[in-house]
Every structure is written in structure tokens, then in C-alpha cells.
Structure 1
């Protein structure tokens, strides 16, 4: 299985978690995620996800002037986004636990 397939499954939760730390614009978000191992993340993946999160009410955005060029769109988490983040955390914890159990079983049989 390609790592990109696994990443797509968790990217939304990681985006919500990163935005929950404070207002961020798209390029900052890409850089933050890359610093945490999402090395292959590109705008073509992130920006449609941000648009979906905004449409679903998980994030809001505001356009602000940039000191370095064109205006930037800053994203913040809404209460619905915080609820979605908590749901992701619970689902991730359960999935990780089950996966760890299966992998531990396989390793003990080696």
C-alpha cells in the first residue's frame, strides 16, 4: 500500500488539529504539516480539503493583507471543527489500538 493512501485517510484530522493551534494561512499550514512528516503534501491536495472543511462549517476563513505580497486567506477552527477534531482523535485512537494489536500478534508469531 502506498503511503499516500494512508495519509489521505488521516490528513483531514491532522489539518483540523493544526488549525486548532491558532489562525493559519494555507502555505503556513502546508509547512507545518511538512515539518510533521507530510513531506509530499502539495497545495493541490490541501486547498480542496480546506474548501470542503469550510463548506462543512468546520473552519472559517478571513482574507487579510500580507506584508509580503497578495492577500492571504487565514483559517480558524469553529466549534463544529473542534467537535470533528475530537471525533477524529477518538477514531484514530481506536484504529491505532486495533492495528497495534494485530501487528503485535504477527510479530509474536515470527
Structure 2
């Protein structure tokens, strides 16, 4: 992962960022990782990414389906569930409050 952010921040923010990425549509794990890296989050190891996705899926925040590969292995495709959309909205509101607290700008 990138050294721009402390590792503890990255681990804490990864679930919300995955939900946010999936709010734009379904994707497989590698595409999610590449998109977050391109946006500046830094590289995400599979040993970090896939357990986070599995936890979100187990919590009912993501749905999955299997996509057959074209000449290669298949892959799991993730998408937000209705509960995931609600959770993302709640997490964004909490994050906005945290940003205001850190900046000292009140609410």
C-alpha cells in the first residue's frame, strides 16, 4: 500500500472505499484494486483486498455472482446490495462529520 497514508488508516478506510467504488456499478476484485490505486489509495495486496470483500459480503453489504472467463479462469463479480447502499450513505455521513471535527469547522 501507499506510504502516503498510515497503514491503520488504509485498513480502516478500505471497506468504505470498496463500497464507494461499487456504488458506480459491479466489478471484480482486480478492477476494484486497480481503480483505488489509480485514484491514489496505493496498491492493495490480495491478502488485504479479498478478506475485506468477503467480510462485506458476509455482512450482506455486497452481492456476488460468478462470471465465466473468456479463455481464462472465471472470477467473482461484486455489487452493492440495498443494505450496502444504505451503509455507504451512513458511512459517508459519519466521515463528513469526522472531517469537520479534524478541521475544527464544526458540523
Alignment counterpart, residue 96 of structure 1, candidates 92, 96, 99: 99
Report the CA distance between 1:38 and its aligned residue. Answer: 1.7
1:9 aligns with 2:12: yes
Cα distance in 2 for residues equivalent to 1:13 and 1:22: 15
TM-score by length of 2: 0.89
Instruction: Give structure 1 regions of 4+ aligned residues with deviation exceeding 6 angstroms.
Output: none
Q: CA RMSD in A?
A: 1.4
Point out where structure 1 has 5 or more consecutive residues left out of the alignment. Answer: 103-110
* In the alignment, structure 1 residue 26 sits paired with structure 2 residue 29: yes
SS in 2 for 1:38: coil
Q: Based on CA coordinates, which of the two structures has the bigger radius of gyration? A: 1
Which residue of structure 2 lines up, in the alignment, with residue 48 of structure 1? 51
Number of aligned positions between the proteins? 101
Report the secondary structure of 1:61's partner residue.
strand
* TM norm structure 1: 0.86
CA offset at residue 40 of structure 1?
3.2
Gaps of 5+ in 2: none
SS at match of 2:68: strand
Compare the two structures and name the one with the higher strand fraction: 1
- How far did 1:69 drift? 1.0
Distance 2:48 2:97 in 1: 26
